[in-house]
Amino acid sequence: MSEGRPIGLDLLGGAALRVEGDWPRCPARGLRLLAVLALDGPQPRRQVADLLWSGGSGRVLHNLRTTLYSLRRVLGQHADVLTERGHQLHLARVEVDVLGLTSADLALEGTWREFMAGHRADGPEQWLEWAERTEMRLLGHLQPLPARRRLPPVRQGLDLAQEALAAAQQDRPGEAESAAHAALTLTPRGEGAALALDVLTHQAIERDEYTLARDYCGRALRATPEPQPDICYTAGYLADLLGEPSRAEHLALLGLAHLAPGRSPALWYATVASAHDSRQDFRAARLWHELALQAARAAPSAQDHCGVLTFYLWHLNATGDSARAQMLAAEALDQGDFSMTAYIHQSLGTAQFRLGELGEALRTLQVNRTHPVLSLRVIAASLEARILHRQGDREGAQALLRGTLPLARTTEDGRARFEWAVAALTCAPREWAAQADACVRGAQTNDPLIVRQYQRLRAGLPTPTTPA
């Protein structure tokens, strides 16, 4: 779909809404409502409510009101594209992919991208009939009938899961989640389900929603009778994040045992290395990190190369080799811009801080100050506060701590919470002791060094009664 208008609607494959280049999460019934208004024009409230929901008048109209409220929040400043005049709902200035397709386009993609896939298996009978009728109206006359044969649900689910993965790799989280949930509707078990759940796990991790990630990941592990290497990698990575190094190592080795010939083992080696780091077995960790790095350099995947270095940089900073961390961070950044690149900036800023290059560290960390992942913002601001404190800017340091305390309390990332607490106790120990205690309470992390640093700073202070 071209991006000439700020709002777009993708209806081929997993339905998704685009808002200013982003793909936010949108309720399934909200996507269906937008599709009806975009393709059939203005609709009476009661008529469209009856189309999308089953039940009495009061119930379906309540559901419609709730959905409209959610949609307007998702649309944000563009909520005026969805209006009500009299008792009719109108949608304007929205770009719809299916309306811009030509016969040539459909000859290439219409045979495998079903209209609103994942939205055709549930809902009232009148909705299912509308979707079928609309598909034939928009697409049927442009393709020969043999091309319109239906694929089995399991195959459709796998196709949608692969679309979800592609969307996630292209940093379109809303579209990725929509396609993944659509895949699970079609195939709750099997390879497609495992892949869809893997995508959802990574999306949850990137939002610091570790409890949700654990649920998705457990379902992914159970979705297939045989272990899937990629699922084992994700599960191992998540277990390590949650401070379960023995489980992380077990899952990574299980994935290695089922890795197809010819695939690079680099990420699985890196996970084993990180598990050793979490146990502070740094000698064994260094051997696994070097093995992972050599495998990554020999493989053609720049993304895996960057991912492996993300693990290794923490190890180098933790073991006092920040000079080499700085050098390998440059190698990682040369690979391109990926979702883990922000973690490279985080480790590079830490290395510069430890080497006394405070100005450079501030410039490096500034990149992460507005990152959508809360934990990255908290860690960057916490380290910046320590730098400002060292430079004598006590007011600037405390302003950063005050500004990020709500984020530190919100994130499920234990390391970020400990990083904030360490910064607080470094800058103003007596003033921030209560908030620091509250911040780390119940936090789990795979970074034993930051926990030890917090305990050392806290040991000399009196125990506060209540946090401010």
Q: Please give the pLDDT value at position 144.
A: 41
Q: What is the DSSP string of 4-72?
A: SSSEEEE-BSB-EEEETTB-----HHHHHHHHHHHHH--EEHHHHHHHH--S-HHHHHHHHHHHHHHHH
Q: With CA atoms as reference, report the closest residue to 399 among 413, 410, 391, 388.
A: 388
| Inter-residue contact 29 to 39 (CB < 8 Å) | no
**pLDDT at residue 264, as a whole number:** 93
Residues 288 and 276 sit within 8 Å (Cβ to Cβ):
yes
Both tokens of 331, joined, read 């190698």
Low-confidence stretches of the chain (pLDDT < 50) are: 1-3, 109-112, 141-149, 466, 468
Q: Are 103 and 142 in contact (CB under 8 A)?
A: yes
**Do 53 and 47 form a contact (C-beta atoms < 8 A)?**
no
Which pLDDT score is estimated for 86? 74
Record the pTM: 0.66
Is residue 7 left, alpha or beta, with left meaning phi > 0 and alpha meaning psi from -120 to 50? beta
CA distance 429 to 40: 63
How many other CB atoms sit within 10 Å of the CB of residue 186?
25
| Beta bridge mates, 115 | 12
Residue 271: name the closest of 259, 260, 261, 262 by CA. Answer: 259
What distance in Å separates the CA atoms of residue 422 and residue 453, rounded to the nearest whole number? 7
Which pLDDT score is estimated for 219?
95
Here the tokens at position 61 are 């109209």
